[in-house]
Structure 1
Amino acid sequence: MDTSTSFSELGLSGPLLEALDQLKFSKPTPIQIECIPPGIEGRDIVGIAPTGSGKTAAFALPILHYLWDNPQGLFACVLAPTRELAHQIASQFDAFGAAIGVRTTVIIGGDEDRVRQAVMLAKRPHIVVATPGRLLDHLKATKGFNLRSIKFLVLDEADRLLESDFGIAVDEILKALPKERTTYLFSATLTDKVAKLQRANLRNPVRVQVSTKYTTVSSLLQYYLLVPLVKKEVTLVSLLNSMAQNSVIVFVRTKACARKLAIMSRILGFRSVPLYGEMTQTQRLGALNRFKSEGSNILIATDLASRGLDIPCVDIVINYDCPTHSKDYIHRVGRTARAGRAGKSILMTTQYDVEFIQRLEKVLNRQLDPYLHDEAELGVLQERVDGAGRVAMNQLKEEDAGKSKKGRQKRRHIASDNWDRDDEEEADLPRTSFKKSRRS
């Protein structure tokens, strides 16, 4: 692979080269060098590469190259597992395709308005970037919308899309697509499900693999820190104290943990923000934007933030909770050391996590280095951290009680409206009809 290759040598059209120059994309990454030429040839592609390697441009540029020569309505559909990743992919299509007037629409679930989305689909965008569940809803319910004419299908983070919570929707969407299409599968890890889909839906694909099955980039320094379970919170605070000038993502396993640690850390003076699945889309994007703009330098997140998000200049990833699977660790630490930059990851492990470290090191085919951290200040911090933890728990209880009360009031309001409506409808009935219904 010739790393001195330029974008102009890959065969892209003039407007795309101008857009890349304006965006300061000077040299293609290995995955782009391997994928763009066969993409321009119209081949199906399976691309396996580490996170942060430029996968989005590797599939977006060939699609836009074809769109320039064949302008039409709905041209490509891109499926992504998270709303944030969908927005990010769409923004890259918009940036690359600005010179050719590309129209991109994001179709995602959550609190996004379905009617507004239906209106955008009726305007015939060139590119639809969607999460599977909401796209399937529109295929079933939105009059006049279908995917029968698309030329390209992309499954980004394909291994995640094929898991049980997305798999059924993806299968239904595949049935609604034309057989004559170009298909791209992209992922950081090659799982059995990805290989199975490759056999079932791709025609003689080009397989591009610039990484082994499970790998992390060479510029990432990886450490583990053995911590007694009862000392996890104070140790995290001590770590964050020592990293005050850095941009840090802290990964946790649950929403409850993300909420508690975010409140605790803010009480202790850190500029932190949480990110988890039950936040509204506005809250999610707000949290990401604050972190990206350095309004907050600590993002405390569940695995929602581990997939595909391109957050520039994340210095350190701390795994506060060990992930469930080794591939989840790879996606998490892939938030740092992106695009050739250096980065650091720290895996906080308790006495109950030793087996996971052993499995992980076997998968990575390397040993993690012990992280040397001064524990002298733990005793000094303990009382303050415990106090912040109690305040955080009380605040969470109050917030949850408030939400529960609002929920009950809303249900009573709905029930009252229904009761009033029933009374009005009954009052409007002719007396004879009412008597007849009573006798019957």
Structure 2
Amino acid sequence: MNATFEALGLSEATLSAVERMGFSVPTPVQEQAIPLALEGRDVVAAAKTGTGKTAAFSLPMIERIGRSKRPGSPKALIVTPTRELAMQIDAACYTLAKSSNHRVLTVVGGMPYKAQIAKLKRGVDILIATPGRLHDLMERGLVKLDGIEVLVLDEADRMLDMGFWPTMKKVVAATPATRQTLLFSATLDRKVMQNISPILKDPAFVEIAHKGETADTVDQFVMPITQAKKPALLRAVLENKGSERIIVFARTKNRSEICARQLREAGYRVDSIHSDKSQAQRKRALDAFTKGKVDILVATDVLARGIDVSNVDHVINYDLPDCPEDYVHRIGRTGRAGEQGFAISFVSPESKTALRDIEKLLGKKIPSIKIDNYDNSDAEKALASQYVPKSNQRSASSFSRDMRPGRGRRGGRR
């Protein structure tokens, strides 16, 4: 189908907002989910990152909700697991609200209460929130959910993984049984469905991506290495592959800070993002990366989901994630919107099991790659027999570095 936004049933006012947002043709998830949501159906949608899920729920939501007449009593509630996702959704809803005149407010942890409370008292139609801050405001009596017409749960599987589901049960219980529920996520599995099924009414299912599916535009490789030699290998990869528009994922907050410091001392323009940083610090780092003032972001999995940063050259998994699904979301930061992406994962002896679990999820082996300026043959031999078949190895000289037109080798240090 070659649908247009006009054919989906959206109003003229919403279509003008779509035009302002720069959308021309609906993505598959938008094409399938929007008409169902406009009908008032509960919708459960699974789609890869970067496929337009935010517009898929925000466009019909704007169409269906009324205006709130009581302070702190929104008509629509969007709950998402991280501050970064909340701010991204806020930007989209703010643009839409220019046409509908709905009032939008985002409440997240790490930000002062005073301004958020003042805006709640002035009235809000669309409330975007992270679970912790939302529940806190509910406990204080500052947010009432008995007028909710549309409830959106974004990245429900991630909220489950992060331990937010007990809080979300309380949030859902505070909303009317007559509400419409829209659930959007990158993946859906049995564990998620067991938790969400009780809150849904005859839902329509939209599945654009299956569990473990990664974008075809991302080339994936592993590099065996011992833990102690990861810093040297990282610098070698940056020197060989280029050091601009790079996201490096580390397993813990402490490791991300150490990695960022080592890169900074080596002369790279780098910043870090993790949960110990304030919302203002995280926003500054993300904005600096988006604007090219910072070339490398070192992050924990707080950045793995849903953040729409364009033209990320490649993702480097300095550490493999504990959860195999997070690997899919990490490498989804590159190769977005049809662009070619590149992902390299460092695999130490301690992370053999994690690699095995990731490959099981993907249903395929991830080939190894060599680079000309670093010899990791000892570590490679330790993994080759079980995890990295020799027949899958590729060398940097045989791999085209110019992954996008006009992009050549940039060199490493500044």
* Alignment correspondent of 1:18: 16
Shift of 1:72: 4.0
* Alignment correspondent of 1:210: 208
**Structure number with higher helix proportion:** 1
Shift of 1:224: 0.8
* Alignment correspondent of 1:88: 88
**Tell me, what secondary structure is at the counterpart of 1:147?**
coil
- Trace 1:18-417 onto structure 2 (pairs within 5 A): 18-67=16-65, 70-73=66-69, 74-110=74-110, 112-143=111-142, 145-163=143-161, 165-244=163-242, 246-376=244-374
Distance 2:141 2:277 in 1: 26
**Tell me, what secondary structure is at the counterpart of 2:349?**
coil
Cα pair distance change 1:357/1:252, threshold 3 Å: same
Distance 1:219 1:376 in 2: 26
Deviations 1:60-109 (A, max 9, x none): 01001224xx4445221000111111111111111223222231101111
Distance 2:375 2:188 in 1: 43
Deviations 1:299-348 (A, max 9, x none): 00011111111111111110000100110101111111112222111111
Distance 1:245 1:322 in 2: 20
Shift of 1:372: 2.6
Structure 1 segments (4+ residues) deviating >4 Å:
none
Distance 1:295 1:244 in 2: 16
**Tell me, what secondary structure is at the counterpart of 1:97?**
helix
Shift of 1:376: 4.4
Letter in 1 for 2:84: E
Distance 1:51 1:119 in 2: 34
Please provide the CA RMSD for this pair: 1.6
Deviations 1:337-390 (A, max 9, x none): 112222111111012222322221121112212223123489xxxxxxxxxxxx
Cα pair distance change 1:162/1:359, threshold 3 Å: closer
Q: Is the 8 A contact 2:67 2:102 kept in 1?
A: no
Distance 1:377 1:368 in 2: 19
Q: Is the 8 A contact 1:46 1:198 kept in 2?
A: no
Cα pair distance change 1:332/1:51, threshold 3 Å: same
Q: Is the 8 A contact 2:40 2:180 kept in 1?
A: yes
Distance 1:363 1:52 in 2: 20
Distance 1:179 1:37 in 2: 22
**Tell me, what secondary structure is at the counterpart of 2:105?**
strand
Q: Is the 8 A contact 2:240 2:371 kept in 1?
A: no
Distance 2:171 2:117 in 1: 17
TM-score (norm 2): 0.87
Distance 1:190 1:203 in 2: 17
Distance 2:101 2:362 in 1: 43
Shift of 1:245: 5.2
Distance 2:161 2:359 in 1: 24
TM-score (norm 1): 0.82
Distance 2:265 2:102 in 1: 46
Cα pair distance change 1:284/1:164, threshold 3 Å: closer
**Tell me, what secondary structure is at the counterpart of 1:215?**
coil
Distance 2:291 2:41 in 1: 39
Distance 2:371 2:43 in 1: 45
Distance 1:376 1:213 in 2: 35
Distance 2:194 2:360 in 1: 25
Shift of 1:167: 1.7
Moved more, 347-356 or 285-294: 347-356
* Alignment correspondent of 1:415: none
Letter in 2 for 1:140: E
Distance 1:312 1:261 in 2: 23
Letter in 1 for 2:300: T
Q: Is the 8 A contact 1:54 1:339 kept in 2?
A: no
Shift of 1:155: 0.7
Distance 1:146 1:75 in 2: 10
**May I ask how many residue pairs the two structures share in their alignment?**
372
Distance 1:192 1:27 in 2: 32
Distance 1:127 1:343 in 2: 35
Distance 2:303 2:370 in 1: 27
Letter in 2 for 1:79: V
Shift of 1:230: 2.4
Distance 1:125 1:257 in 2: 40
